[in-house]
Amino acid sequence: MADYVCTRMEVTQSADVPDFAFSADPPVRSRRVVVLRFVRTALSGLVWFAIVVVLLGVGAAAGSTAVWATDAKVPPQVAAFLRRTGVAMPVRAVQVEPAPVKSGLYDRALVTGIYDRASPSIVEITTIRGERRGSGSGVLISPNGTVLTNYHVVRDATSIEVTLLDHTRLVATMLGRDPQDDIAFLRLEDAPPSLQTLTLGDSDELRPGELAIAIGNPIGLDRSISVGVISGLGRTLRDGDRPMRHIIQTDATLNPGNSGGALLNAAGEVIGITNAIERAAGRTGFGGIGYAVPSSSVKRFADRLLAGEHIRHAWLGISGQDVTPSAARELGVTVSRGVAIGSVVGVGPAARAGLRKGDVITAVDRAPVETMDAFGAYLDRTYRPGDRVTLTISRGSETIETMATLEPWPEGDMAP
């Protein structure tokens, strides 16, 4: 069993120490600064200690004292240790140019260049829902202040605030939303002129193994970057029984707060909006798999979303599974492919069209149906609510055709 975790972060509004929805007892920002300072100090000490140990080893092996030349300042405690052990103190400054890092996939110059260009366009989104505060990420996509994010980041929010690179905080309002694809567009009020933006790339051209760079605000750490690859394409996630289709899978690390952030390609274009993590329930040592809404899903309805529309997707009102040879024998049908209906919503389009549990859908408007995922994706890409479709059904030894009028997916609880 896997848990899909949307990567929005929520905290209580009134408590001194926020109650994070996605991790146990995380520190508040002020405490985190102290902790990070301590960690930096501790790490600095460890690095110096490691250098001393290495030098001592070198000196012993060579039968002499190692001479260490650097332009760094030595902490007093390390200097005392050096004097006690007889290891030489720093004597002169040496300028060492780091070797270029370009091994296989990773190209440091490429990645850092993309980060420098893209990070100013990543914003932090803070929401209020009753007594709870939420946190997520967003991407500036127009100079006049249009922000692209996940719908679940701003869903049911009574207040939306966006923080820019220079820490300017602006009120935002929702323009358009597509709950099915987990997409929302926001408009910034009183946005400064000529905001730096990112371009939407073509996710349809992606291939597994390509570079994937995620930039967002995990647990409030603004504009954090992680690097990985495109691990898979065309995934289907389910929130309850409602599917999110055409999803990108990546091994770039995602955490709570990354939702709404950018997944970038090697050209620095947005090819996805990071939105979920899959974690195996009850399993340790499983780091999780990251997912992103593809840019193709954003582009599909961009004009309508920017015009303020609420996008509704076509819904048939069934749940089903792929037909296998064993399922075909059990159902008493002779077909070897299609979708076997497992349940029919009592007041949905399928029920009105006379479909029953156990029917096998083999075609829609004469286009063959192979699998449940392919069938759902075809309906989603091809039709809109109100469209009429002809379904070819295998029922026992009979093959019949019936008409169904597709409806919008129900609001609220997920429905098959």
Q: Which of 135, 152, 178, 224 is catalytic?
A: 152
Per-residue pLDDT of the chain (416 residues; tens, 9 = 90+): 455 556 665 554 443 333 323 333 333 333 333 333 333 344 444 444 343 333 333 333 333 223 333 334 555 655 554 455 443 334 434 444 544 444 445 788 999 999 999 999 999 999 999 889 999 999 999 999 999 999 999 999 999 999 999 999 999 999 999 998 999 999 999 999 889 999 999 999 999 999 999 999 998 889 999 999 999 999 988 766 678 889 999 999 999 899 999 999 999 999 999 999 987 666 655 567 899 999 999 999 999 999 999 999 999 999 888 988 887 788 777 888 899 999 999 889 999 999 999 899 999 999 999 889 889 889 998 999 999 999 999 888 889 999 999 999 887 544 44
Question: Is 296 an active-site residue?
Answer: no
Q: Which of 67, 97, 127 is the last residue of a domain?
A: 97
Q: Which of 45, 72, 97 is the last residue of a domain?
A: 97
The total of structural domains in the chain comes to: 3
Question: Is 194 an active-site residue?
Answer: no
Residue 363 sits at φ, ψ, to 5 deg, of -160, 155
Polymer length in residues for the chain: 416
Q: Does residue 61 share a domain with residue 38?
A: yes
Which of 372, 283, 377 is CA-nearest to residue 327? 372
Q: Does residue 1 share a domain with residue 112?
A: yes
Q: Does residue 238 share a domain with residue 285?
A: yes
Q: Does residue 345 share a domain with residue 243?
A: no
Q: Which of 182, 297, 313, 380 is catalytic?
A: 182
133: its two tokens: 């505060």
> Is the residue at 416 inside a domain?
no
Question: Which residues, at least 6 apart from 283, have a Cβ–Cβ distance to it below 8 Å?
Answer: none
CA dist., res. 52 & res. 72, Å (int): 14
Q: Does residue 365 share a domain with residue 250?
A: no
Which of 128, 175, 120, 169 is CA-nearest to residue 147? 175
Q: Which of 259, 295, 297, 394 is catalytic?
A: 259
Straight-line distance from the first to the last Cα atom of the chain, in angstroms, rounded to the nearest whole number: 20
DSSP string, 338-399: SEEEEEE-TTSHHHHTT--TT-EEEEETTEE---HHHHHHHHHHH--TT-EEEEEEEETTEE
Sign of the dihedral through C-alpha 85, 89, 94, 95: positive
Question: Which residues, at least 6 apart from 287, have a Cβ–Cβ distance to it below 8 Å?
Answer: 253
Question: Is 246 an active-site residue?
Answer: no
State which residues form the domain around 375.
Answer: 314-408
Cβ neighbours around 284 below 10 Å, total: 5
318: its two tokens: 């069934």
CA dist., res. 404 & res. 340, Å (int): 17
CATH for 302: 2.40.10.120
> Is the residue at 413 inside a domain?
no
The whole-number pLDDT of residue 288 equals: 75
